[in-house]
Amino acid sequence: MSREDVVALCCAPLAAPTLTDAEIDAAAALFKALADPHRVRILHLLATSSEPVCVCELTAPLGLAQPTVSHHLKKLVAVGLLEREQRGTWAYFSLNREALDRLAALADLRGALP
């Protein structure tokens, strides 16, 4: 499933009357990507930045080597939560605000409660 498929399918909140198998798979992919504490920390760091952040700026706050940080970033880009911009030899990352809004709607279970 491509990143665009995951982002497009992840629009229906859990409280929706029915979810298709594709929507369920897309939601599971998003939650799987967020199951790692380093990836949650990456989202938090990017949420506090007003500009795209270079991978080299994330290694120290995360306490991880650059290849490991790149691996986590790749997973977050693959599910559509981050956007990647190439600037010369460096990659810069920012939040995909629309995907985060859909994730928030997906995780909002209040409408499903009696």
Residue 1's identity, in one-letter code, is M
pLDDT value of residue 12: 52
List domains and CATH numbers for the chain.
Answer: 3-112 (1.10.10.10)
Distance of alpha carbon 23 from alpha carbon 40, whole angstroms: 22
- Contact (Cβ atoms closer than 8 angstroms) between residue 11 and residue 59: no
Query: Does 2 score more than 80 pLDDT?
Result: no
Distance of alpha carbon 106 from alpha carbon 15, whole angstroms: 8
Query: Can you say whether the dihedral through the CA atoms of 59, 36, 19, 111 is positive or negative?
Result: negative
Q: What is the pLDDT of residues 73-97, one digit of tens each?
A: 999 999 999 999 999 999 999 999 8
Distance of alpha carbon 46 from alpha carbon 48, whole angstroms: 5
Mean per-residue pLDDT for 56-67? 95
Instruction: Looking at 1-96, list the stretches that DSSP marks H as alpha helix, in order from N- to C-terminal side.
Output: 3-9, 21-33, 37-47, 59-62, 66-78
pTM for the structure as a whole: 0.76
